[in-house]
Amino acid sequence: AGGPTANPWDALPIRDELRGQSPYGAPQLDVPVRLNTNENPYPLPDALVDRIAERVREAARDLNRYPDRDAVELRTELARYLTRTAGHRVEAANVWAANGSNEVLQQLLQTFGGPGRTAIGFEPSYSMHALIARGTGTGWISGPRNEDFTIDVDAACAVIAERRPDVVFITSPNNPTGTAVDAGTVVALYEAAQAAGPSMVVVDEAYGEFSHHPSLLPLIEGRPHLVLSRTMSKAFGAAGLRLGYLAAGPAVVDAVQLVRLPYHLSSVTQATALAALEHTDTLLGYVAQLKSERDRIVTELRGLGFDVTESDANFVQFGRFADSHAAWRQILDRGVLVRDNGVPGWLRVSAGTPAENDAFLDAVRGLKKEHD
């Protein structure tokens, strides 16, 4: 897809930087076992479904009115959740919510990036960072990683000093590699970014709840240019809800008000998210199961002779393949959809239910690896 071949929009006067590009497109194929988009495999429990129905029913009566524009109740509950689980006390004033963390990231780039400005990410990483940069007219800088996919702190600080980006993305745990970043690395990159900028540092912790390590949230204390981004799509098993949020100093929350659309978060979304937050403990129970399944996938893949990147997320990067796309296709032919992120030699599998993971492990047994 994409490239210089004809696109349906070529005849339209679209912005130059969009010409020849292709949209984000993880395949949505109808396959028995879908382990390609890091979704939570567990449907919401019945008690929560009932609670959502109740809260949405209440909200429905008032749909003639615009929603709470500032989503105060929801931000209060999100702050309570972070305070309880992420090792640092935050208030509603520290928290902002939007339709998925993608929208949070877009609002951050609309506020702190934009035409004439740049953002940096350390690649391979979450491809939407570069795409949202492009969509907001922000220049994109691809920063380096080590061979083992960790961030090379000295190299990263050197690029920041040289290129002086306005926004620095640090994804921890990183997608698609699963690699976590330690607090020391964030602090070093933050300091480099302040010396060069001052610029904003965004820690994308979409998979934070799955990590073996504590959240990086406490680092926002005393660092007014540090933002933590989170989502209910993964740990809360609510990708369909579209609810992401950030935690930062209150000035950051105030600043994104300049770009957010009024009433961006519907009453239905707010009601549903509040219902899900009431069931946090049940949902975190699923997270615990997924973490142990993730660890099992790592162990079993290594037992089968694959190279596996250390994972702190709900997915695992494995390889190495001489032709990863051919391997992806072979696994698909066996009824299991994994992800080819375009990292040469590697594929990514999301942790599913134990039965789905068994199906995946059966599908990869006997697959041809590079060093076979």
Of residues 161-180, those binding ligand PMP (CB under 6 A) = 171, 175
Of residues 24-63, those binding ligand PMP (CB under 6 A) = 38
Count helices and strands in the chain by DSSP H and E runs: 11, 12
- Decide if residue 231 touches ligand PMP (CB under 6 A): yes
Query: Residue 204: how many CB atoms within 10 A of its CB?
Result: 28
Which amino acid appears at position 325 of this protein? Answer: H
Smallest separation (angstroms) from ligand PMP to the CB of 370: 26
Smallest separation (angstroms) from ligand PMP to the CB of 322: 27
Smallest separation (angstroms) from ligand PMP to the CB of 102: 4
- Decide if residue 215 touches ligand PMP (CB under 6 A): no
| CB closer to ligand PMP out of 112 and 196 | 112
Of residues 301-360, those binding ligand PMP (CB under 6 A) = none
Sheet holding 226-231, edge to edge: 95-98, 244-247, 226-231, 200-204, 167-171, 118-122, 139-143
| CB closer to ligand PMP out of 7 and 172 | 172
- Decide if residue 206 touches ligand PMP (CB under 6 A): yes
| CB closer to ligand PMP out of 100 and 352 | 100
327 neighbors 368 (Cβ within 8 angstroms): yes
**Contact window for ligand PMP (CB under 6 A) among 95-103, 182-190, 248-256, 361-369:** 95-103
Q: How far apart are the first and last CA of the chain?
A: 31
Structure-block tokens of residue 276: 């899900």
| CB closer to ligand PMP out of 215 and 233 | 233
Nearest CA among 212, 215, 211 for reference residue 186: 215
| CB closer to ligand PMP out of 138 and 233 | 233
**Contact window for ligand PMP (CB under 6 A) among 99-107, 114-122, 259-267, 359-367:** 99-107
Q: Among 178, 237, 244, 352, which residue sits at the site for ligand PMP (rule: CB under 6 A)? A: 244
Smallest separation (angstroms) from ligand PMP to the CB of 231: 3
Cα separation, 197 vs 310, whole angstroms: 32
| CB closer to ligand PMP out of 7 and 111 | 111
| CB closer to ligand PMP out of 187 and 239 | 239
354 neighbors 334 (Cβ within 8 angstroms): no
Of residues 120-149, those binding ligand PMP (CB under 6 A) = 126
Smallest separation (angstroms) from ligand PMP to the CB of 129: 8
352 neighbors 33 (Cβ within 8 angstroms): yes
Q: Among 118, 179, 233, 314, which residue sits at the site for ligand PMP (rule: CB under 6 A)? A: 233
Residue 229 pairs in a beta bridge with 204, 246
Q: Among 77, 204, 209, 312, which residue sits at the site for ligand PMP (rule: CB under 6 A)? A: 204
- For every residue of 181-232, DSSP letters joined together read --HHHHHHHHHHHHHH---EEEEE-TTGGG-SS--SGGGGTT-TTEEEEEES
Cα separation, 197 vs 163, whole angstroms: 10
Angle 120-121-125 from CA coordinates, rounded to 5°: 160
The contacts of residue 306 (CB under 8 Å, 6+ apart) are 318, 319, 364, 369
Note the residues at the interface with ligand PMP (CB under 6 A). 38, 100-102, 126, 171, 175, 204, 206, 231, 233, 239, 244
